[in-house]
Amino acid sequence: MNKNLATADYIVFILYFIIVAGYGYSIYRKRKKNEHDAKAYFLAEGTLTWWAIGASLIASNISAEQFIGMSGEGFFLGIAVAAYEWIAAIALIIVAVWFIPVYLKNHIYTMPQFLKVRYNESVALIMAIFWLFLYVFVNLTSILYLGAVAINGLAGGEYLHVIMVGLAVFALLISLGGMKVVAYTDVIQVAVLIIGGLVTTYIALTTVGEYFGVGKDAIAGFKVLLRDAPEHFKMIIPKPTATSTQNDINKYLTFPGMLSYLAGIWIINLNYWGCNQYITQRALGADLQTARTGILFAGFLKLLMPVIVMLPGIAAFVLYKNGHLPQLIGGKDGAYSAVLTFLPTGLKGLSVAALTAAIVASLAGKVNSISTIYTLDIHKKYFDKNASEKRQVMTGRAAVFAAMILAVLFTWNDLLGIGGVGGFTYIQKYTGFISPGVFAMFILGMFWKRTTGWAAIVGVIAGFGFSVLFNEFAPQLFGHETIFYTSYPNSKGLYEIPFHICMGLSFFFTMLIMIGISFAGPKVNPKAFELDREMFKLKPSTTVLIVITLLIIAALYVKFW
């Protein structure tokens, strides 16, 4: 079996590149008369349809950490990892119904602007700088590294740095056209990643069926997975006991059963989908109904994502366990690339195009958000207060270049050690260090009028401090089992608390501190948002889409509980 790409695969990939680049250029030409309109460049204000918003949300979200990282977690954990996607669908409903109306009514265009309007300049500046560091040194680097490693493995293993630079340049070409070009090319990217991803899943299942003697049939292959790896089709990871193996403990540390649903996974999703410039930016330039429909459409698409990014990982596990996947290298993060080797010529090129689409869309969306935050929340306020529209766009493009160059430099020899901890874990853990404080600051700022700016500053610092405490030091300082947590030995023999539980505890104590500080202030903070019932009313069509999504999620959980 030839692992390397054939000529037909390169032709398919080049066609994908030409179509995306050509479509992006046509969109750019159409908006060239508004080339130096800052709001058009950063937000595509008023020009995105609901389907463009929804597709762009998914394209920006699904990247190498899903294809490679989540497939790897499917290999290790099984269907439990699908909770990240299915709970995300519920989180998107919450964002569409309750968060977006607050942003749009108050004319919020960036997350630091929200913090300035609701709290004060200091909170906004602190978080703007922090988000820039997070986006560049956690998100951009991990997406670029995982993507380059995956595609390099398929291309023969000798072109890592060439592929890394190629991905960066491709993303730059798209992002320099502004948000409208990013969003509308994302529609093609989503189509490619869904079609290519489904093809990979189909081939993986038919390969399982073939090796296990039930024929090249995807349904039969899926039944083999259910029969041969029943533990991989349980949503709830059981709590370790005295007889549990280290592998069982490691699974629980990654996803601690029901406690995940009481704590961390909600904070991860609501913070990511509702308080994240990278995501909300797509909807902030639209009217309320368009934004809501686009977000709910994205939520509906999230239901499909585990089929694309998780099932290949479970198929890889079953094949590997039975000696049919000797090409698997690099542990669980190599599962998706190993499965791709089964694809025939041409289809392998389509799957590489799907993977590239996911990577490039995420990179382009991320650098667009970086340029938006830097230009509107830092450069224009502190360095060039009288910047013209044209100058703002030029500054935004310079920020795009700078961010991508930094990402390439830090990824070149994996200076951040992303490969050592696994891409998916790297992103979740380091983002999780600040998620509790940020989410507490946003949720109280939106819906509790008494929350003060001083409480917000203390809250974001406390949230980070509590995260470090519970993730790194609590078992050694307070013991392995307390009223708040139970810690378990990891593969290195060190005791740790599952990071979902750490996030829940950090959020809980941060909320207590912020509420306590706010009680020392006025009953109604002068900067509190005015909310009314009309903001949260839903059209019948919106309600129907929400109900359908919730029913599908309920059916999935009933089936795989």
% of the chain beyond a pLDDT of 90:
36
What are the CB-based long-range contacts (under 8 Å, 24+) for 514-520? 514/440, 514/441, 514/444, 514/451, 514/455, 514/456, 514/458, 514/459, 514/462, 515/444, 515/455, 517/452, 517/454, 517/455, 517/458, 517/459, 518/444, 518/448, 518/450, 518/451, 518/452, 518/455, 519/450, 520/452
The answer to whether 199 and 351 have CB atoms below 8 angstroms apart is yes
CB within 8 Å of 333: residues ≥ 6 apart:
68, 69, 72, 146, 422, 423, 424
Model confidence, pTM: 0.85
What is the pLDDT confidence band of residue 177, given thresholds at 50, 70 and 90?
low
What pLDDT, on the 0 to 100 scale, is given for residue 99? 93
Domain ranges of the chain: 7-419
What pLDDT, on the 0 to 100 scale, is given for residue 6? 78
CA 330 to chain centre: 23
What is the pLDDT confidence band of residue 83, given thresholds at 50, 70 and 90?
very high
Distance CA 482, CA 100 (A): 39
Average pLDDT over residues 332-340: 80
Residue 359 has pLDDT above 90, yes or no: no
The answer to whether 103 and 284 have CB atoms below 8 angstroms apart is yes
- When mean pLDDT is compared over 49-58, 59-68, 226-235, the highest value belongs to 226-235
pLDDT tens for 87-123 read 999 999 999 999 999 998 888 887 888 999 999 888 8
* Paired tokens of 201: 């899943």
Residue 544 has pLDDT above 70, yes or no: yes
What pLDDT, on the 0 to 100 scale, is given for residue 420? 59
Distance CA 334, CA 124 (A): 40
Residue 458 has pLDDT above 50, yes or no: yes
Residue 182 has pLDDT above 80, yes or no: no
Residue 540 has pLDDT above 90, yes or no: yes
What is the pLDDT confidence band of residue 457, given thresholds at 50, 70 and 90?
very high
Residue with tokens 């956690």: 138
Distance CA 308, CA 315 (A): 12
What is the pLDDT confidence band of residue 394, given thresholds at 50, 70 and 90?
confident
What pLDDT, on the 0 to 100 scale, is given for residue 557? 93
Q: Tell which wins on pLDDT, 152 or 243.
A: 243
What pLDDT, on the 0 to 100 scale, is given for residue 334? 76
* Paired tokens of 173: 């070409």
Q: Tell which wins on pLDDT, 244 or 361.
A: 244
Q: Tell which wins on pLDDT, 175 or 507.
A: 507
Tell which phi-psi region holds residue 345, choosing left (phi > 0), alpha (psi between -120 and 50) or beta: beta
What is the pLDDT confidence band of residue 157, given thresholds at 50, 70 and 90?
low
pLDDT tens for 245-288 read 998 998 899 889 888 898 788 998 998 899 887 677 777 778 89
**What's the distance, Cα to Cα, between the start and end of the chain in Å?**
38
User: What is the 3-class SS of 425-473, one letter each residue?
Assistant: HHHHHHHHCCHHHHHHHHHHHHHCCCCCHHHHHHHHHHHHHHHHHHHHH
In order of 104, 444, 520, 526, the CA distances from 454 in angstroms are 25, 13, 10, 13
* pLDDT, the chain, mean: 85
486 in helix, strand or coil?
A: strand
Nearest CA among 286, 298, 341, 301 for reference residue 319: 341
The answer to whether 179 and 281 have CB atoms below 8 angstroms apart is yes
Q: Which helix (H) or strand (E) holds 246?
A: helix 246-254
Question: What is the CATH class of 7-419?
Answer: mainly alpha
Which stretch of 31-40, 211-220, 381-390, 552-561 has the lowest confidence by average pLDDT?
31-40
Average pLDDT over residues 525-544: 90
Q: Tell which wins on pLDDT, 19 or 99.
A: 99
pLDDT tens for 415-438 read 777 765 555 666 766 777 888 999
